[in-house]
Structure formats: structure tokens, C-alpha cells
Amino acid sequence: MAYTFDDLVEMQRAADEAHGRVRELKDTYGRPTAHPWSPEETETYETAWQHWRNLAGDVQAAVTAHAGQEDKPRFDVDAAVRTKARHPQPEPASA
């Protein structure tokens, strides 16, 4: 499947949001070695972690494919996607 740059940005935002959920759960539950997690906490965390890893893997594969199609260095495409996803420019005001 061919991805546009905007598709990649949206995929990166989804992965970042999922990663935020993982960090939030870790902050809420604490370290499992300091305070053993309940089976429900463990399952919730593991599900969120796997979801994040799947999204992150998907975006990385899409970035690689896009870079190859556009004949651009993968690193440059990845950096541009992450920058746009994490630091969007405000839309110019209409006159």
C-alpha cells in the first residue's frame, strides 16, 4: 500500500497517543517490582503496550516503504514525520 506523507503523520500521532497511554498506566500502577500489579493491571498494561508496539511497527514499515518510493533517505522521512506529528504548525488565519 502506498502511503502519503500525511498518512504517515497520522500513523505517528496514533502511535504517540498509544505510547502516552502506556506511560500513563505505568505512572498509575507504579513499578511492578516495587508494588506487584494485579492480574487486571498486568493485562491492561500488556494490552496497551502491545497495541503501541504494533502501531509503532506499522508506522516504521510505512516510513521505510514511503522513503523507498520517494527515493529519499529513510532517516530524513522518519525525522520529518516525527517533527510534523509532534510539532504541528498552526494553520494560517484566513483573511
Phi, psi (degrees; rounded to nearest 5) at 37 = -80, 150
pLDDT at residue 32, rounded to an integer = 84
Where is pLDDT greater, at 46 or 90? Answer: 46
Residues in the chain: 95
Confidence of residue 95 (pLDDT cuts 50, 70, 90): low
pLDDT at residue 1, rounded to an integer = 76
30 conformational bin, left if phi > 0, alpha if psi -120 to 50, beta if neither: left
- Per-residue pLDDT at 34 exceeds 90: no
